[in-house]
Amino acid sequence: MEIAVSQPALPVDPDQALIRRMVLGDEEALRALYAAYGRRLFAYAYRLTGNRAVAEEVVQDALLAAWKGAAAYRGDSRIVTWLLGIVHHRALNALRRKTVPSDTLEEAAERADAGAGLSELAEASERRKALTVALSQLSGEHRAVLDLVFYQGLSLAEAAEVLRCPVGTVKSRLSYAKVRLRAALVRAGWRAEDVL
């Protein structure tokens, strides 16, 4: 009597399947990729550029580049890391090409949750303003590394891949950025833990 031994099935990464479908020209796969990561990509582009319209353009350009370059995706990293890398470099190119006006705090407040109370909105607005001012005192490289690690939740190795630099550089930029951010908040009269 033979006993059938089956190998456990390897989990299929749905993102990898989307990339394979994109290589085959499946536009629905691109839509699904956008549905999965569009907000995250936009948030990163917006924090890099400070302008909603430019961030939207960056995300569109990045998704078009992902569509055209899907066959070149090697699968060495997570899809989100690959996409954030494309967005990162498209945003830097957009910033180099033209002066990008930042959205005003009033525009940001209009997009805030309308259901929140007035005092909560005012307090959140003040914290956001303090953080925005403190972040503006950092270089683009330092803002990017903070965003990738803390907002996007990437590992240091993934952030290094997005930024196309060694992990040691990411570590030093992150350390420097945290120290400078805290110092800027303290100079503005805030405790870092109240804002971050």
Q: Does some domain include residue 7?
A: no
53 and 124 housed in the same domain: no
Q: Give the end of a domain, one of 69, 85, 103.
A: 103
The pLDDT of residue 120 = 66
Query: What percent of the chain has a predicted confidence (pLDDT) above 70?
Result: 79
Q: What is the CATH number of the domain that holds 62?
A: 1.10.1740.10
Residue-level pLDDT at 13: 72
99 and 115 fall within a common domain: no
Q: What is the pLDDT of residue 53?
A: 93
Pair (31, 84) in one structural domain: yes
Residue 150 lies in a domain: yes
Q: What is the pLDDT of residues 53-78, one digit of tens each?
A: 999 999 999 999 999 999 999 888 89
115 plus 145 within the same structural domain: yes
Write down the number of H helices and E strands in the chain: 10, 0
Q: What is the mean pLDDT of residues 108-118?
A: 49
CA triple 30-32-36, angle to 5 deg: 115
Nearest to 83 by CA among 20, 139, 15: 15
Q: Which residues contact 48 (CB under 8 A, 6 or more apart)?
A: 55, 58, 87, 88, 91, 92, 95, 140, 143, 144, 147
* Distance (Å, whole) CA 4 – CA 45: 52
pLDDT at 196: 63
The enclosing domain of 171 has a CATH number of: 1.10.10.10
57 with 115, same domain? no
pLDDT in the model for residue 58:
95
Q: Are residues 65 and 45 located together in one domain of the fold?
A: yes
Answer yes or no: are the C-beta atoms of 58 and 90 closer than 8 Å: yes
**Residue that is written with structure tokens 């394979």 in the block:** 20
Looking at the structure, tell me whether residues 44 and 98 fall in a common domain.
Answer: yes
Q: Tokens in use for 194?
A: 């109240």
- Of the candidates 103, 123, 153, which is a domain's last residue? 103
SS3 171: helix
Q: Is residue 3 part of a domain?
A: no
Q: Give the contacts of 126 (CB within 8 A, at least 6 positions apart).
A: none
Clarify whether residues 57 and 136 are in a common domain.
no
User: Is residue 117 situated within a structural domain?
Assistant: yes
CA-nearest of 98, 57, 76 to 13 is: 76
Show which of 65, 82, 103 is a domain's final residue. 103
Of 64, 61, 74, which Cα lies nearest the Cα of 27?
64
User: How high is the pLDDT of residue 108?
Assistant: 45
Helix, strand, coil percentages, rounded to 5, for the chain: 75, 0, 25
Share of the chain above pLDDT 90, in %: 48
Same domain membership, residue 128 and residue 51:
no
Total of domains in the chain: 2
Say whether pLDDT at 103 is over 90: no
Q: Using one digit for the tens of pLDDT, what is the confidence trace for 121-161?
A: 676 677 778 888 888 888 888 999 999 998 899 999 999 99
Tell me: do 66 and 147 sit in the same domain: no
Q: Let me know if residue 190 belongs to a domain.
A: yes
- Same domain membership, residue 148 and residue 121: yes
CA dihedral sign of residues 45, 40, 137, 106: positive
Share the mean pLDDT of the chain.
83
Between these two residues, 135 and 193, which has the higher pLDDT value? 135
Q: Measuring CA to CA, which residue among 163, 124, 129 is closest to residue 146?
A: 163
Q: For position 151, what pLDDT does the model report? A: 87
Residue 4: inside a domain, yes or no?
A: no
Does residue 123 sit in the same domain as residue 87? no
Q: Which domain holds residue 191?
A: 111-196
